[in-house]
A and B are shown apart, each in its own frame.
Chain A
C-alpha cells in the first residue's frame, strides 16, 4: 500500500486542464486576455521589438499595424473572416501561400492558441481601448487561473514575463519533495515502479546468477567479475539469492574500483580533461588531483551535501586543507584560455558564463545559459537570477595554488619528468643552433648592405653569455633598436631564416612555453580558485599562481545584467543570489549570500546542499538511477526545465530524493536501496516480448532490464582484465597508453606552433592502468575512445550514447591494440597452465571473456579455427614491430606559406618496452590469438544484460 502525499504533482496536474473553453469568452475578452499576450509572446520578437529590424515590414506593435499587414500589401486580419486572414492562415502552418509562423516548428502555436485567434477574428476582431482593457483585466483572474500559476521571482525584464502563467506540471522540479509512504513490506522502488506499470504486462523473472554478477560488477566497478568470483557467487546465489545479492553489493561497494567507476560518471558531467582546450590547449598539469579527489570521495562515501560544498567552496570552507583546494578544481573544468588574440574581459566573461551554467547543470539540473541574454523563455528563471548566480563568482579568480600532497595521493612515477627535461634540452639546443645561424647571417647582412658593423659589434659584446654560448641575437638586436639606430641599419629580426628555421624556431620556443605547463604535473599545486579582485592580465602563457595579496590589485567586479550577454553592455547591477523560483516554492530553502568578496560561494553551496532544495536531491538521485538502469527517471538529467522530459515515475524520484537526505546523503546507501530491488535484479529477457513491445514501446516499464553496450573505457579495461595485464593501481599522474600510431604522431596545430606527439609510457605496467587515468587532451582524442562514444569534454555529458558505427569495427578488429590484447590473452591461457587440453584452453578463454564455459559447439568451432589458423601461422614469419624514436613532421609554415619539416625526438620511446609481439611466440599461440580476437569482438563480450 502506497500513500501519496495529497499535494503531489499528479494532483496538481488536475488543475491544469483547460476547463474554460475559448468559446465561452466573448471576442473582446478574448482579445485582451488571450490574443494580445499571445501575439506579444510569439510575434513581437521579429515584428516590433526592434523597430529597425521589422521582418517583412509587418509591424505588430499597434492594432493598425496588425490589421494592415506587411510587404505583401494584403490586410493581415479581415474581421469575421479567419479564412481570409493571413495572420490566421500563417499560424496554421500548412497554407500554400502564407509562410508558417512563427518560423520555428518548436514554437508552433498549440491547437488551443490557434482556436483563440480564429474565434477572435470570427468575433469581429475587436481591439478594445485602454480603458476597456483595464476593465476586462480586472476580471482576468477568473480566466487566467485556469491557465496555470504565476511564480514570483527576483525580477523580470518585462511585466508580461513577470506575470507569465506556468502549467504546474512544467514546474514539477521546483515543488517540494514529497515522500510517498510505503506501508507494504515491498521494496519501495518496486512498489513505486508498479504504479505506472501498464495493465496486463507482467515483469520478467529475476536474472540468473552469472548475468547478475556481471551486471552488478560492471555497474559498480566498470570491470568484469573474475571467473572465480562468478563461481563463488553462483554457489551462494543457489543457497539464498537475496543474501547473496546483498553481500555481493556490499563487497562491490567496498572495492576501491567502485570510486573509479562513479568518478567516471561524475567526470562526464563536469567535463574533466587534462588540457585547457581552444587555441593553445595547454596541459592542465594538476587536474589529476581533482580526478583522484572525486574517486576518493565516492570510495569514502562522502556525504553528497559535503561533496557539493567542497567542490563549490572548499577554499572558503577550509583554506588550509589541500584537499579542499583541489576540490574547487570543479569550478574550472570547462575549457578556458586567455590568449593575446582575445579581449581579456571577454575571456573573463566566458569563465563566468561557463561556471554559472556548469553549477546549474551539474547540481541543479538547470541549463542556466538560456537566461544569459533574456528572461528564460520557458522556465521561471529571470535573467536577473542568472546574473545574481553569476555574481557569486564575481570575486572567484583562477590560480594553480600551492597545496601539499596528501598521504592518500599517489605520487609515484614522478621520475618520468626526466623525459621532459630531455625535451627541454633539445628545444634549447635547437634555439642555440638557430641563434648561431642568425648571428652569422647578421654579419653577412651588414657586409652585404655595406653597413658599419661597429654598433653591432659593440652590442654583441654587451650581451652576457654563459658556458660558451654565443650571444642571443634577439638581445643584440633590441640593444640596437633601443639605441635608436634606423631600422634599415639593423639586421632584420628573422635574418638568416629559411622556411625551415621559421617553423623550427617557433616549435622550439613554443615548446619551451608548453613544457612549463607539463612540468606543473609534479608540483604540489592545485588547479583551484581564490577570492579576490580580478587581476589585470592580457594573456596567460604560463601557469597562474595566486598573488600574495588578492585584494591589492585589479578590479573588484560589480556584476550586472548584461544586454545580450555582452560584458561591455551592463544594464543594471545585481547582488549575488540564487534561483528565486526555488525559494518561492520552498520558503525554508533560502540563501543569504554576502556581498563581501569572501564567502559568496560558501553561501551558495549551502543553499544548493540544503536538505530542502528539491532540484539538488532530485538531480543526483536521477543520475544515480541512470547509472544503474541506463535511462534516467526524468529524461534530461541536466535539464529539469519545462522543455526537458518529465519524470516517468515522479513518486519514485521523490522517494529517492527524500531517502538520500534521510540516509545522511550517503550515495552507497542509495545503491543498496536501488540494487536490491526486484527491478534491478530482473532479467533482460522478457517471457512475452510481444506484449512488452506493445505495452511498453518506449522501455519505460522496467518490466525487463535494458541491456547495454560496454563504454569505451570499459571495453579497454575489460580487455586488460581478461589478459591479466591490467594494473589495478589507484590514482596518480595521468598515464599514456599506446594509441593508434598515426593519430599519436599526427601533427596538431596549436597557437603559433605544433603540439608535441603522444608518446606512450615506456613500461607496460604504466600503460596498462585503468582508462580513467589516461591523459585526456581536448585537442587529441584517442580514436578508439572517440569512436566508442566517449563524450568530448566540451559540453557536460548527461548520458552516454552507444551507437553502432562501422569505424568501431576498424578500431576493435583491425587495430594494433586489439591485436596486442589478443596475443596477450592467448599467451596467458597457454602459459598459466601448460597442460591444458585444447578444449580446456577454449573453456578458460570463455571464462575470462564471458564468465562462463564454452558450449560443445563453441568448443568445437573454436578448436577447429585454432587448428586452421595454426597451419596458416606456421607458414608465416612475423616481423618484429619497431617503435619510433623520432618522427619527422611536415606542416605549412605560417610566415611563408611553405611546407617545412621538423624532427621531434620521442624520448620516452628510447626506453620503450613493447607488449608481447607475434615474433615472441610460436605459431600455435599466434593462432590462438586469432580466436581471442574474435572473442574480444563478439557481442557477448561487448554487451551486459
Chain B
C-alpha cells in the first residue's frame, strides 16, 4: 500500500485507468475491494513519492532540534572569559537601531557557568552539559550565523521558513517537496511541538504556498496526537466501517455520473487511508515496546527529561521508519532574567535526551546519513539591564551572534567553525546570513536551493528567498 500521506492523490495523478475499471464493476467498496484497488496504485507516483535531489546527498533525512526562545551561545557553547573581567561594567550600546528592550543602563554579565573542553576535539561546553560532552566529537559547532530579526515570531519564521514574515513554506516542507518521503503511510514532515505552541504558532511548520501535502504534521505530546484522529466516544470501529461502506457506495454512484471529475477518486481514497491511519499512528507513537535500558538512556521516566526524551526517541523511530524530516521543539529559552536557573534547567531537560539520540542513531548506523541540527532563532547579548536586582542576571535577544551545531551526514564533526567577538556580541569569522545556512542544509540533503523553486503569485520562489551560498567550511 503506497498511497502517500497526507494526500490521497491530486488532479495530476489520475489517469482513468484500470482502477476506474474496477470501480466500474459495481463492486461493493468494502475494505477488501478498496485495499486491493489501492495496492494497484502503489506503482504510481504521488506527491510524496521518493525523488532524487539535485546533487549527491550527504544525508537522507533530518532531525531538527528547535530550541525556541533563543538559547544563549555565551552560556552554552561559546565561552567568553572577557566577560568575567567586564562583569557589571557599564555597557554602552551605540547607534540609532536601539529598541526599548535595550534602553536604560546596561551592564556586561558574565556567564554563571564554568566551561570546559570536551572530547578529543576539545569542543567547549558549559558545565550543565553533562551527557552531550560524551558525543562532543560527533558535533560540528558553528558560530557565524546571523539573522535579521530581534523579535521571537519573526526570527522563528526566518529560521524555519526563510522569511521574517509568516506564511512561507517551512524548511521541512521544502525538503519533502524536493525529496518526497520513504514511508508513504506516514507524513513526510513531522513536528513534535511543546505543549504550548511557540510564538507565531503553526505557521512555523506551515506549507505556505507549497501544496498541502508538504505541511508539517504535528504529533501532539498530550491528548490526541493528531486532532480528531479518533471518532467521538460511542463510534465503534464497526460502526465506522459500516459508515465508510455506505459512503463508498454513495460516492460510487455519484462518480458514475461525474466520471470526468478525477478528484472524486482522490477524495474517496483519502477516507480509506484515514481509517488505516487511525490504527497506525498510535502504534508508531507507542514507546512501550522499546527496551527499558534504552528508555532510561533517553531519560524517559525521570521528571525533568521525560518529555524531551520521549520526543527524541520518537524522532529516532520516525526517521527509522522513513519519515524525511522531523522537527522537535524545546523551550522557552527566552531567559531575560535568572539565566543561571532558567538555562540550567533547560539544558538539563534536553542534555541527556539529545546525547542518547546521537548515540542511538550512531549505534544503528543511522547517524552517517541523518543530519541533526540544533539551534534557536537567535543568540543572546553579553549585556543585560539587570532588571531584577543583583542576582537576576539574564540576557536579551541578539540576532548578530548565536551557536548552531550539527551532527551526522556530511558535516565536519569535531570542529568548531566561525568566531564571535570577545564579548559574544557579534560574529566576526565565517559570518553568514541564515539564508546561507538554509542553502547548506538543503545541499547536505542533496537539494540545490536555486533549483528547488515553486512558481507562485507570478514568480519562482525559494527557501533562501533570493539565493544564497553553501557554507563550505561546515562540510566534511
Say yes or no: is B467 at the interface (Cβ < 8 Å to chain A). yes
Which residues, 80 to 139 on A, are CB-close (under 8 Å) to B? 103-106
Q: Which residues of A contact B346 (CB under 8 A)?
A: 892, 897
Q: Which residues of A contact B273 (CB under 8 A)?
A: 806, 809
Are B8 and A806 in touch, CB under 8 angstroms?
yes
Are A488 and B390 in touch, CB under 8 angstroms?
yes
Q: Which residues of A contact B165 (CB under 8 A)?
A: 335, 794-795
Which residues, 182 to 207 on B, are CB-close (under 8 Å) to A? 194-203, 206
Contact with B along A702-746 (1 / 0, CB 8 A): 001001010000000000000000000000000000001011001
Which residues, 419 to 468 on B, are CB-close (under 8 Å) to A? 450-451, 453, 457-460, 462, 467
In-complex Cβ contact of A801 among B212, B242, B388 (8 A) = B212
Contact with A along B233-265 (1 / 0, CB 8 A): 111101100110011011101110111110110
Are B242 and A685 in touch, CB under 8 angstroms?
no
In-complex Cβ contact of A806 among B195, B259, B277, B344 (8 A) = B277
A346-B8 in contact given A783-B227, A804-B267, A815-B228 (Cβ < 8 Å): no
Q: Which residues of B contact A342 (CB under 8 A)?
A: 99, 150-151
How near does chain A come to B149, taking the closest CB pair, in angstroms? 8
Are A103 and B270 in touch, CB under 8 angstroms?
no
A779-B231 in contact given A813-B274, A872-B239, A930-B239 (Cβ < 8 Å): no
Say yes or no: is B334 at the interface (Cβ < 8 Å to chain A). yes
Which residues, 330 to 346 on B, are CB-close (under 8 Å) to A? 331-338, 341-346
In-complex Cβ contact of A335 among B166, B229, B349, B451 (8 A) = B166
Say yes or no: is A898 at the interface (Cβ < 8 Å to chain B). yes
Are A641 and B458 in touch, CB under 8 angstroms?
yes
Which residues, 319 to 339 on B, are CB-close (under 8 Å) to A? 331-338
How near does chain A come to B53, taking the closest CB pair, in angstroms? 14
Q: Which residues of A contact B81 (CB under 8 A)?
A: none
A568-B153 in contact given A493-B388, A861-B250 (Cβ < 8 Å): no
A810-B97 in contact given A278-B200, A897-B345 (Cβ < 8 Å): no
Are B167 and A813 in touch, CB under 8 angstroms?
no
Choose among B243, B277, B390 the residue with the greatest number of A CB atoms under 10 Å from its CB. B243
Contact with B along A340-376 (1 / 0, CB 8 A): 1111111000000000000000000001001000000
Q: Which residue of A lies closest to B264 (CB)?
A: A939
Are B267 and A636 in touch, CB under 8 angstroms?
no
Say yes or no: is B41 at the interface (Cβ < 8 Å to chain A). no
Q: B32-40, B218-226, B352-360: which lies at the A interface?
A: B218-226
Are A343 and B97 in touch, CB under 8 angstroms?
yes
Contact with B along A637-648 (1 / 0, CB 8 A): 011110111000
In-complex Cβ contact of A814 among B231, B238, B247 (8 A) = B231
Say yes or no: is A1 at the interface (Cβ < 8 Å to chain B). no
Say yes or no: is A66 at the interface (Cβ < 8 Å to chain B). no
Which residues, 34 to 66 on B, are CB-close (under 8 Å) to A? none
Q: Which residue of B lies closest to A491 (CB)?
A: B389
Contact with B along A798-811 (1 / 0, CB 8 A): 10010111111111
A-side interface residues, number (CB < 8 Å): 115
In-complex Cβ contact of A934 among B231, B232, B250, B451 (8 A) = B250
Q: Which residues of A contact B334 (CB under 8 A)?
A: 894
Which residues, 592 to 648 on A, are CB-close (under 8 Å) to B? 635-636, 638-641, 643-645
Are B150 and A103 in touch, CB under 8 angstroms?
no
Q: Which residues of A contact B343 (CB under 8 A)?
A: 897
Q: Which residues of A contact B387 (CB under 8 A)?
A: 493
Are B261 and A806 in touch, CB under 8 angstroms?
no
Looking at chain B's contact residues, the main secondary structure is loop
Say yes or no: is B158 at the interface (Cβ < 8 Å to chain A). no
Q: A310-318, A390-398, A449-457, A749-757: which lies at the B interface?
A: A749-757
Say yes or no: is A895 at the interface (Cβ < 8 Å to chain B). yes
Q: Which residues of B contact A441 (CB under 8 A)?
A: none
For the complex, what is the distance from the CA of A341 to the CA of B89, rounded to whole Å?
Answer: 23
Are B239 and A869 in touch, CB under 8 angstroms?
yes
How near does chain B come to A825, taking the closest CB pair, in angstroms? 14
Are B226 and A638 in touch, CB under 8 angstroms?
no
Say yes or no: is B146 at the interface (Cβ < 8 Å to chain A). no
Are B166 and A855 in touch, CB under 8 angstroms?
no
In-complex Cβ contact of A879 among B212, B233, B333 (8 A) = B233
Are A804 and B270 in touch, CB under 8 angstroms?
yes
Are B467 and A104 in touch, CB under 8 angstroms?
yes
Are A810 and B389 in touch, CB under 8 angstroms?
no
Are B99 and A810 in touch, CB under 8 angstroms?
no
Say yes or no: is B293 at the interface (Cβ < 8 Å to chain A). no
Are B166 and A794 in touch, CB under 8 angstroms?
yes
Are B266 and A749 in touch, CB under 8 angstroms?
no
Say yes or no: is B295 at the interface (Cβ < 8 Å to chain A). no
Are B392 and A684 in touch, CB under 8 angstroms?
no
Are A939 and B255 in touch, CB under 8 angstroms?
yes
A742-B196 in contact given A279-B151, A340-B101, A934-B246 (Cβ < 8 Å): no
For the complex, what is the distance from the CA of A136 to the CA of B264, rounded to whole Å?
Answer: 63
Say yes or no: is A945 at the interface (Cβ < 8 Å to chain B). yes
In-complex Cβ contact of B268 among A635, A639, A704, A939 (8 A) = A939
For the complex, what is the distance from the CA of A339 to the CA of B338, rounded to whole Å?
Answer: 22
For the complex, what is the distance from the CA of A611 to the CA of B230, rounded to whole Å?
Answer: 56
Are B270 and A806 in touch, CB under 8 angstroms?
yes
Say yes or no: is B9 at the interface (Cβ < 8 Å to chain A). yes
Are A803 and B7 in touch, CB under 8 angstroms?
yes
Q: Which residues of B contact A749 (CB under 8 A)?
A: 196-199, 332
In-complex Cβ contact of A340 among B99, B227, B333 (8 A) = B99
Q: Which residue of A lies closest to B468 (CB)?
A: A103
Are B101 and A341 in touch, CB under 8 angstroms?
yes
Q: Which residues of B contact A930 (CB under 8 A)?
A: 239, 242-243
A898-B345 in contact given A806-B6, A810-B274, A933-B243 (Cβ < 8 Å): yes
For the complex, what is the distance from the CA of A930 to the CA of B245, rounded to whole Å?
Answer: 12
Contact with A along B108-130 (1 / 0, CB 8 A): 00000000000000000000000
For the complex, what is the distance from the CA of A349 to the CA of B6, rounded to whole Å?
Answer: 39
Are B239 and A643 in touch, CB under 8 angstroms?
no
Q: Which residues of B contact A748 (CB under 8 A)?
A: 196-197, 201
- 4 smallest A-B Cβ distances: which pairs? A639-B458, A644-B458, A897-B345, A340-B100
A-B residue pairs in contact (CB < 8 Å), sample of 29: A105-B450, A106-B459, A278-B199, A279-B200, A341-B101, A492-B391, A493-B387, A493-B389, A643-B459, A644-B459, A685-B258, A707-B258, A709-B263, A742-B224, A748-B197, A778-B166, A779-B199, A803-B213, A806-B7, A807-B226, A810-B228, A815-B228, A819-B235, A892-B196, A895-B341, A897-B344, A933-B243, A934-B247, A938-B254
Apart from A740-B228, A939-B264: 18 A-B pairs, beta carbons within 8 A: A104-B462, A278-B151, A335-B166, A493-B387, A645-B458, A685-B257, A746-B197, A798-B457, A807-B226, A808-B270, A810-B226, A819-B232, A865-B242, A868-B242, A892-B196, A892-B331, A939-B267, A940-B251
